[in-house]
């Protein structure tokens, strides 16, 4: 039986990550993985210490090298995912690799790329702050945005101890390949060279970010040869 707090509520994440999780789930569905489960959106120090003891002072395999206060989960800036299909929660590498690629494209950090302690279910975003920064009391601003939100305006009002934030989505459009996200450039360059994409009289492609994602997904599926 676990102790302390180990939340699965998206609302327990920092607002930037809560929006990020929802966008990750949307993009995963487009990529063919609609069953995304989310856990550990917030762990208090008591639960973190309880996890640290597993495989050390109590039975089980070691699942973390972080004590209380040493995990990004303790600061509401990380979450874990699993494939929400009974019996297939952890055994589909393609699921985690797709999620990791998408999350990194969005501007986050994926534990699957770590060297010393590979943690494929782990996803985080700290707005550039280090663990030491967080331990020293620095916080991610409530209106912080991940890279994928370059076309989202966030405004926050403080009500007592809490912030209430509203989002106004401003569609981001790209005219030239050099202005596009790095993950889309090779695909768009190929489509232009093949004559499948043409700009206006000034050469502006005028592609939305959603269209870029769709074209890249189709390219990876081999639809363009």
Q: What is the pLDDT of residues 154-171, one digit of tens each?
A: 444 433 333 444 444 445
Which residue intervals of the chain bear CATH 3.30.1380.10? 6-144
Q: Which two tokens stand for residue 1?
A: 């039986």
Strand duo 162-169 + 152-159: pairing: antiparallel
Q: Indicate the pLDDT class of residue 56, thresholds 50, 70 and 90.
A: very high
> For residue 151, what pLDDT is reported?
57
**What are the pLDDT digits (tens) for 98-149?**
999 999 999 999 999 998 889 999 999 999 999 999 999 999 999 899 999 8
Using a pLDDT cut of 70, give the percent of the chain over it: 89
Of the candidate CATH numbers 3.30.300.350, 3.30.565.10, 3.30.930.10, 3.30.1380.10, the domain formed by 6-144 belongs to: 3.30.1380.10
Residues 51 and 65: their CA atoms lie apart, in Å, by: 9
- Taking the C-alpha atoms of residue 35 and residue 218, their distance in angstroms, rounded to an integer, is 21
Query: Per-residue confidence at 150, pLDDT binned at 50, 70, 90?
Result: confident
- In this structure, of 31-40, 103-112, 115-124, 214-223, the range with the lowest mean pLDDT score is 214-223
Instruction: For residues 78-87, give the mean pLDDT.
Output: 96
Asked if residue 222 has pLDDT above 90, the reply is: no
Q: Which is more confidently placed, 212 or 68?
A: 68
Comparing 84-98, 162-176, 190-204, the range with the smallest average pLDDT is 162-176
Both tokens assigned to 15: 């607002």
Least confident of 25-34, 48-57, 159-168, 185-194: 159-168
| pLDDT in the model for residue 172 | 64
Q: How confident is the model at residue 210 (pLDDT cuts 50, 70, 90)?
A: confident
Angle formed at CA 103 by CA 16 and CA 173, multiple of 5 degrees = 75
- Three-state DSSP class for residue 162: strand
| Residue-level pLDDT at 129 | 95
Handedness of CA 171, 175, 180, 186 (dihedral sign): positive
In this prediction the pTM is: 0.68
Q: What is the mean pLDDT of the chain?
A: 87
């Amino acid at each position: 039986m676990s102790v302390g707090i180990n939340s699965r509520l998206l609302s327990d994440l920092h607002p930037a990550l809560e929006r990020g999780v929802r966008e990750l789930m949307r993009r995963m569905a487009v990529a063919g993985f609609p069953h995304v489960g989310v856990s550990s959106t917030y762990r208090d120090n008591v639960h973190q210490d309880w996890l640290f003891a597993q495989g050390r002072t109590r039975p089980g395999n070691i699942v973390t090298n972080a004590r209380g206060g040493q995990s990004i989960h303790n600061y509401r800036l990380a979450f874990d995912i699993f494939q929400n299909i009974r019996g297939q929660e952890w055994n589909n590498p393609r699921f985690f690799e797709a999620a990791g690629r998408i999350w990194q494209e969005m501007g986050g950090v994926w534990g699957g790329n770590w060297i010393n302690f590979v943690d494929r279910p782990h996803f985080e975003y700290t707005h550039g702050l280090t663990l030491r920064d967080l331990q020293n009391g620095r916080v991610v601003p409530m209106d912080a945005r991940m890279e994928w939100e370059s076309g989202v305006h966030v405004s926050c009002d403080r009500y007592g101890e809490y912030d209430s934030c509203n989002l106004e989505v401003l569609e981001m459009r790209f005219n030239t390949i050099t202005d596009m996200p790095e993950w889309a450039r090779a695909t768009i360059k190929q489509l232009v060279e093949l004559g499948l994409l043409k700009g206006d009289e000034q050469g502006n492609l005028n592609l939305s970010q959603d269209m870029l994602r769709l074209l890249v997904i189709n390219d990876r599926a081999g639809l363009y040869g």
